[in-house]
Structure 1
């Protein structure tokens, strides 16, 4: 019997710059929520924050696009 091989997820995108970290302050409640989400998806808390940020950024871009013709 062989064991299924798990592929390890990259911790940062391949095109990210070293030293490109950005400090982020969270309330204790927000941190607890992020940690629970991260644990549920087998991710680190910092990776989960990045996922949440990217989804929020996508949402902000789609709702705050400059309107032409005004």
Structure 2
């Protein structure tokens, strides 16, 4: 039985460039908290960090 060929899709939201990531250093405790939040929301740590960043930017403005 042959498998169907699947189209590879990016996990990034539309319009997000994958060629210019931003590196953010976190302490071990901060990283553990980020991982816990991400797991609770069923997201990757990178996706959760972006969501938190976007929320903070709105509050910062």
Give TM-score, length-normalised by structure 1: 0.68
Kindly state the Cα deviation for residue 11 of structure 1 after the two structures are TM-superposed: 3.1
Query: How far did 1:21 drift?
Result: 0.4
Structure 1 or 2, whichever has the larger Rg, is 1
C-alpha distance in 2, partners of 1:43/1:36? 10
1:16 offset after TM fit, Å? 1.3
Unaligned runs of 5+ in 1: 1-9, 62-70
Structure 2 unaligned segments of length 5 or more: list them. 1-9
Matched with 2:20 is 20
* RMSD across aligned positions (CA): 1.3
Hey, which bits of structure 1, 4+ residues long, moved more than 4 A?
Answer: none
Aligned partners of 1:59 and 1:11: how far apart in 2?
26
- Name the count of aligned residue pairs: 52
How far the C-alpha of 1:13 sits from its partner, in A, is 2.0
